[in-house]
Structure 1
Amino acid sequence: MDSTMSPHAPPGRPPHTRWNPRLVGQIAALLLANVTADSVIVMPLFVLPQMLDHFGTTQAAWLGSTAMLAGAMWAPLFGKSADIHGKRRMLTVALLVACGGAAVCLIAPNLLIFVLGRTLQGAAVAAVFLTGSLVRDLCTPRLAMTAVGAVTTCAGVVGIASTSNVESLVAQFGFQVVFAASALFATVAVICIRAFVPESEVRTPGRVDVVGTLQLGGGVVAVLGYISLGPDLGWLSAGTLALLAAGVVALARWYLVSNRNPEPVIDIRNLGRPMVLTLLVVVLATGAGQSMDQLLSLIAQVSSDQGLGYGLDAQGSLALLFGLPAVGIMAGGLLSGWLAARTDPAVALAAGVVVGTVAAFGMFLGASSLPVAICSGFFLNLGMGSLLTSGFNMAAVLTAPHRQGVTASMVAVTGAIGSVGVSFVGAAVLAGTRVAVDGTTVNSATGVHSYIAISAGLFVIAAVLAFLLLAQRRAERPQRTD
């Protein structure tokens, strides 16, 4: 096959074979969509303590991770719909839904309404994989691997600017300023995408399994709700056990029905060993890495002078703690795309997991040392940037062009479930090990270090699976063609 021809390119529109001003403009427009996703997932972590105080709750996982959890429900709908109705169209719909969710969060009078808004904001998760899929339609495969890295991780540039100003803005206007910024990003992104990015002409006839999506999403929410509420209500209480049972039944029902459905919203049949290994690496490593952001947000403003065995005393230094690592995720994405284009996405995936594993173990020291925490955070995000890009690239090379949306959504769903699941488990560990100090209940050093140990252990398992995937890809290399 001619290396300049892309099976992902829309008919009649020559794919980009090298970087040029038109491609840069399209990447910039798509990048704004991922800036919106970044503002939905990451920016609220900067103000997590303020949100907990405002709503009078200790459920940090619900406030910080609801959008990612909702993303696990939104992603299959948008992925399947994108293959049927067009990727650009569904990307703009997702951004508009996320914009509406930000507006709800901005004016939410209570926790219930706020969580509803965060659920709507979760639609922005679809932007991450839809932008990557659009890039693969616009470019030749070799160029697309690097371009996917740019569009999915360079949102960190805006993250650096936002973290340098967020403390003063929050002090002046309250935590709601984060959601006003998110709504603004979504609006600008929709305008630019409609103006500069062409619609993909790759289509797959079919329909969207809405019932199956609700069963999958409802089951995941119920199980994670059991994990979150268990420490407060009791693991064996009637209410929590009923919640767990409802989740298990919904997931079992979804699995049985999806096996008989000719067009399931997520097709888990005949995935193949490489795809299964890829998804396992994504779910474990993404969960381990992104859950660390939640931990950092909870210990960042705790002073080491309190003698708790942890504390970063980062008041006034949040730009360093959260902004500098944003450079890491951008660099990881670009390096991963460059490496994948010259070797194999499995190589980049394994490299990212190894870097994340080393950084996770570094957090044992970083929990009580701001310089070490900044360094570990940088390399965690370097690994996460590589994981994000190489996960999508790996799945893309294993999938036919007309199913790119569904497959990319599958990667997004597993990543979201991993992120939320580990965050909820970590929050449960912190809640179960809290101690009273001077009449105030605070997180204990045991809970913080147990949280880190869980994440580091998951990274180790993901690293083993990543090298198994790499070994299989190398064994299959003589049979593969470009």
Structure 2
Amino acid sequence: MSEPVIPAATESGQPTAYLHSGWTRRVVGYVLILVLVNVMVDSVLASPTFVLPQLSEAFHTDQFAWIGSSAMLAGAMWAPLLGKSADINGKRKILVLTLLVAGAGGLVCLIAPHIIVFVLGRVLQGAAVAALFLTVALVRDICAPKFAMVVTGLVTSGSAVFGIVTPFILEPAVHAFGWRVVFVISASFAGLATLLVRFVLPESRITTPGTVDVKGALVLGGGLAAVLVYISLGQVFGWLSAFPILVLLAGIAALIYWYRVLSRRPEPVIDIRGVSAALGLGLLVVVMGTGAYQSMLQLFSLLVEVAPDEGLGYGIAGPAALGLMFGVPSIGIMLGGTISGAVAARKGPALTLAAGVLAGVIGTALMLLAGAASLPLAVVCSFLLSLTAGSLVTSGFNLASILAPRERQGTVSSMVMVMVAVGSVTMNFIGSAILGATRVVHDGEPVNSSFGVHSYIAVAGAVFLLAIVPTILLVRRMGDHVVTGAPISHL
């Protein structure tokens, strides 16, 4: 079978590489490998949510937000450094590195004797967050612009196919082998993906001469992490207690120092002043929408542990509840990402981003009305929210791809991933704080109250509603823009 390719042009119009513009066996093989990489990412980020109660019991902690979000928080630290490094040193090379680090993190979690070592393992696993945006950046190196949008939808959401059966496999596996089996699986996926990426995928044809500002990356990542850590520590030690306040001030000081000094260097790790208005609006929608969705995903893992007949006013435990809540909605992620990629190639990613936000508003509204106590309705709500997840992530990356030159795809894609990480961590901790502040005593034990659960859902819904404002502004600004190979950073 012949391979349709088109010459890729730089801003000067000179061809620099040949890009695939249609499906061939080789492209299918590349896509399958990139999907496998993102299966590993899902196993790092989502699989631990299946065993949150077991992890809380094993490490004697009720800070489930730390367990579920530590890898995503670490991803916010990793992303700027790895994104810039990928543009300079080659995306495949850096992707292999992230897979090795993530695999090592899974092994650390597997043998962790206490919570401190476990969180350290999750920090290493956070490198997997970079793997997601690097797969998207590699797609742009392999495919022509319009075709790349379709492929991006498949790469970012194709891993959801495995999510359909994962809960039905994990439930008996966890019952038989315990919570550690989750990390055995993630480390195994990381090892397999490393080999395939290294020996099958092509290296980046376009790189950017320069150096990586390691100091700037560490200061920026550390500042982000410190602010997010405050959100977690505040609910434990008190929002105005000395230690959390010191952590917050240190984070703010680091971010100010990075912005006022380090970001003005000739080659900053992220050129924040070069962010266009359209990209800024898109990033704002992503941080709000994905944050709201991830917080709801965390809530679902708690609701399936409570039976409706316990009389708490919430709870959806029942036969195959775990499989239904986390398996069936995987179809929604796959559909949301795939359809968004195909539509964006014709209409642009702004409209598909708007569709994702709308699905999130509807899903949380239904969940607030009755879904927290009805398994069938909860499954419908989870499906709608998964459409949101697939659409927002795919559309965010596609928007970044058309607003940045090819040689900066790694850096700009890392900005999208930072927004996903910041939104997810922030909303997860806020949700945890809401539940912790509204607990009641039931049969002699502290449990989440109905008021707390419904307040949690209401906050997520409010964030989706607020996301409508930048979405409308983005759609107006992008207008009828047609996707081409040239960046449109002026928007």
- TM norm structure 1: 0.96
| Amino acid of the structure 1 residue aligned with 2:76 | A
Other-structure match for 1:316: 320
Q: Is the 8 Å Cα contact of residues 356 and 379 (structure 1) preserved in structure 2?
A: yes
Deviation for aligned residue 1:13: 5.0
Counterpart CA distance in 1 for 2:485 and 2:161 is 37
Deviation for aligned residue 1:7: 3.8
Q: Secondary structure in 1 aligned to 2:312?
A: coil
Aligned pair partner of 2:121 in 117, 120, 125: 117
Other-structure match for 2:146: 142
Counterpart CA distance in 1 for 2:371 and 2:447 is 19
Q: Which moved more, 1:274-283 or 1:205-214?
A: 205-214
Q: Secondary structure in 2 aligned to 1:5?
A: strand
> What runs of 5+ residues in structure 1 fail to find an aligned partner?
none
Other-structure match for 1:223: 227
Other-structure match for 2:420: 415
Deviation for aligned residue 1:226: 1.9
- The C-alpha deviation readout for 1:130-185, integer Å capped at 9, x for no partner, is 11111111111111100000011110111122211111100111101000000010
Counterpart CA distance in 2 for 1:377 and 1:476 is 32
Counterpart CA distance in 2 for 1:209 and 1:480 is 29
Other-structure match for 2:200: 196
Other-structure match for 1:347: 351
Q: Is the 8 Å Cα contact of residues 137 and 409 (structure 2) preserved in structure 1?
A: yes
Q: Which moved more, 1:292-301 or 1:173-182?
A: 292-301
How does 1:41-440 map onto structure 2 within 5 Å? 41-314=45-318, 316-364=320-368, 365-440=370-445
- The C-alpha deviation readout for 1:236-290, integer Å capped at 9, x for no partner, is 2222222222222122122212332121111110312101101100100010111
Q: Is the 8 Å Cα contact of residues 61 and 427 (structure 1) preserved in structure 2?
A: yes
Q: Secondary structure in 1 aligned to 2:446?
A: strand
Q: How many residues align?
A: 481
| Amino acid of the structure 1 residue aligned with 2:336 | G
Deviation for aligned residue 1:316: 3.5
- State percent identity of aligned pairs: 51
Counterpart CA distance in 2 for 1:477 and 1:128 is 26
Other-structure match for 1:471: 476
Other-structure match for 2:32: 28
Counterpart CA distance in 2 for 1:403 and 1:332 is 26
Deviation for aligned residue 1:16: 1.1
Structure 1 189/7 Cα, relative in aligned 2: closer, same or farther at 3 Å? farther
Deviation for aligned residue 1:451: 1.0
Q: Which moved more, 1:313-322 or 1:154-163?
A: 313-322
Q: Secondary structure in 1 aligned to 2:8?
A: coil
Counterpart CA distance in 1 for 2:296 and 2:234 is 21
Other-structure match for 2:8: 6
Deviation for aligned residue 1:112: 0.1
CA RMSD of aligned residues (A): 2.1
- The C-alpha deviation readout for 1:35-57, integer Å capped at 9, x for no partner, is 11000001110111110011010
- The C-alpha deviation readout for 1:327-369, integer Å capped at 9, x for no partner, is 1111111000110011111111111111111112121121111
Q: Which moved more, 1:191-200 or 1:407-416?
A: 191-200
Deviation for aligned residue 1:59: 0.5
| Amino acid of the structure 2 residue aligned with 1:189 | A
Counterpart CA distance in 1 for 2:348 and 2:225 is 35
Q: Which moved more, 1:100-109 or 1:26-35?
A: 26-35
- TM norm structure 2: 0.94
Q: Is the 8 Å Cα contact of residues 348 and 483 (structure 2) preserved in structure 1?
A: no
Counterpart CA distance in 2 for 1:136 and 1:297 is 35
Counterpart CA distance in 2 for 1:478 and 1:334 is 17
- The C-alpha deviation readout for 1:347-394, integer Å capped at 9, x for no partner, is 111111111111121211211111111111111011110111110000
| Amino acid of the structure 1 residue aligned with 2:8 | S
Q: Is the 8 Å Cα contact of residues 359 and 385 (structure 2) preserved in structure 1?
A: yes
Counterpart CA distance in 2 for 1:10 and 1:429 is 56
